[in-house]
Structure 1
């Protein structure tokens, strides 16, 4: 997008076309106006429109421009935080409520894809969290036990079963989560946009919100060439926020993440790795992730930005890593490369803000946007529709809190990933 092949890479190459939309060029009214065309905003627009609500969505660029169109495509359940730590961080009421909601989030994603016939390469065979060494296996054993006591369909696999599924002997075991899966993330975002339009929502692209004012009990959002007057505002711009709610960007620390996609593997090589098409990531602090797309490309990623010296460092590291993990497919060329920014909160959990009366927004997905974003969009729609009271929302409403030395931390993450990858996989 924006003539940058490193913004969305493979996903832009292979996604169905976006629905035709235009810039807002007039003054309009609506019951609800949504800011941001990622998973949260599109899910909210779809659920509101299906309920007969007059809703307008304003996207600054194109649908899926932010994290929604750049991520790995893992439909994960929960967050990075251990299940038992949710109540410790949020209290027992909110902690267990959020855990149950996000644990079931992948089922909502599947349901929307099925109901609206969204073509996005959905795979339902689960994900594999891969253990690096004994410490990694110990961590996964505890994580699996905490999910299992809540009835989740997760299981701990030994090294032999992990090798059979992955096609690599590099791991001490894995946690299989059958709630989860993979999809083509930009295609999913565009599919949600199309479904929302079909349901009656009015979607505008290239329509960044420049100003927000309260006038006579209504909210007025101004863009470069138009404005929207509405009773409710959903702020769904997440880590790519700017304009009136730029504080959402500022309260999160950017963690860069890149992906490289190989050319489609020959059919015989596709039978050697990830035959079940599970999405994978490992337990390293600077983690690696990999999965297959529908055409048989290996999508391989890690922390880091493909810019400056990072481009050559991360690509060389990825080639060495693939050679170690999958020696049977070494030397397959890369076809696409891209990267984006993950917004991280201090406790790796999302947040709910009330910016003004009838102005709400979730943020802070910490790299887990597909399922939580879809779920939170639905929850906000149900709250506006009067089906979920404020006290029954999955998170307490808090004020934005800016992290200390954010820019220093962001530089550290980007440069630290380069240092780690420059030395990594050489022995």
Structure 2
């Protein structure tokens, strides 16, 4: 994307084309100005447009340029935070409300894909959270117990069944979540955009916002070549925020994450490697993830940035790790490589912010953007439509606050991932 093969890699190479868009020029009026062309912004725009509202979406680069177009493609339910911990942090009312919404999140994603005919390589076979050693098994067993108390269709698989599903005996067990699945993330983003435009929303790319001012009862949202006059503003820029809402970015610590994709595997290899096509990630702090795309490429990723010395270190580690996981692969060649940034908040929970009268947004997805972003976009639409009040939203309103020692922590995470991957396979 934008001439950089390491920005979106395989997803840019295999996604359907984005719908035609152009920069904003001149003065336009709308009910709602949505800032950001990721899952939150586009879900919000789609739901508002379907309700008959005039929506103008402004994206600084291209549709899906940020995390929406770069991620692994796991449609996860819930968050990283353990369900009981989330409920304890937010309180029983908000906590359980959020758990219910995000537990049902994958079903919303899949329903939108079905309703709008979005071609995004959807797989509905669940995900596997794999346990590394006894501590990992203890963690996923606790997750199982906490989700099952809430009626979720999750269960721990023993080492033998895990090995059968994965094609490797590297893990002590896994947590199967049948609510979840995988998709092609950039294709999903572009499909949401196409659906929102078909519903009547106007999308303008290459239109970074440079100012936003409140004039009476209306907002004036300015780009270099145009102005949107709107009653509401939705800030959906998250970890890639710039301009008037750059503080949304500084509230988060960037954690780099890379993915590498092999050539399509042959039919014999596909019989033994993820035959059920579940999405996979493990319990290590510096985690690994892997999955298959529709063509049978193995997409393998972990924490780290493919730049400077990290490019050589992470790719060499990935080859060693894959050789241990799947020796039947032989010498591994990667067709595509790419990376991006995950926005991490201090408590690993998203944020609900109010930026002024009738100006709201969610941010801080902590590596869980597909399902929560889609859900939160719908929630923002319901707030604007008057179907919900602020008190009925899934998160409390909080003030923006800059994360302490952010540049140091970001440098530490990038360097630390290189040190960890230089050391060995970690399985």
Per the normalisation by structure 2, the TM-score is 0.99
Distance 1:425 1:175 in 2: 22
Secondary structure class of the residue paired with 2:398: coil
- Displacement of 1:329: 1.1
Distance 2:77 2:129 in 1: 12
Aligned to 2:74: 74
Given that 1:320 and 1:426 are in contact with CA atoms closer than 8 Å, whether structure 2 keeps it comes out as no
Q: 1:59-100: CA deviations, max 9, x gaps?
A: 000110000000000000000000001111111111111111
1:267 corresponds to 2:267: yes
Aligned to 1:105: 105
- Displacement of 1:426: 8.5
Secondary structure class of the residue paired with 1:129: strand
Aligned to 2:171: 171
Secondary structure class of the residue paired with 2:228: strand
Aligned to 1:5: 5
Alignment of 1:58-97 (within 5 A): 58-97=58-97
- Displacement of 1:216: 2.1
- Displacement of 1:284: 0.6
- Displacement of 1:332: 2.8
1:235 corresponds to 2:227: no
Q: 1:83-133: CA deviations, max 9, x gaps?
A: 001111111111111111111000000000000000000000000000000
- Displacement of 1:390: 1.1
Distance 1:192 1:116 in 2: 8
Given that 1:136 and 1:283 are in contact with CA atoms closer than 8 Å, whether structure 2 keeps it comes out as yes
Secondary structure class of the residue paired with 1:277: coil
Distance 2:330 2:278 in 1: 20
> After TM superposition, which residue ranges in structure 1, 4 or more long, deviate above 4 angstroms?
none
Distance 1:140 1:403 in 2: 30
Of 323-332 and 241-250, the range deviating more from structure 2: 323-332
**Aligned-residue CA RMSD in angstroms?**
0.8
Aligned to 1:150: 150
Structure 1: state its 5+ residue gaps.
Answer: none
1:323 corresponds to 2:308: no
Q: 1:115-152: CA deviations, max 9, x gaps?
A: 00000000000000000001100110000110001000
Given that 1:265 and 1:332 are in contact with CA atoms closer than 8 Å, whether structure 2 keeps it comes out as no
Q: 1:342-381: CA deviations, max 9, x gaps?
A: 0000010100000101000000000000000000000000
Distance 1:2 1:201 in 2: 24
Q: 1:320 to 1:92 in 2, by over 3 A?
A: same
Q: May I ask how many residue pairs the two structures share in their alignment?
A: 427
Per the normalisation by structure 1, the TM-score is 0.99
Aligned to 1:246: 246
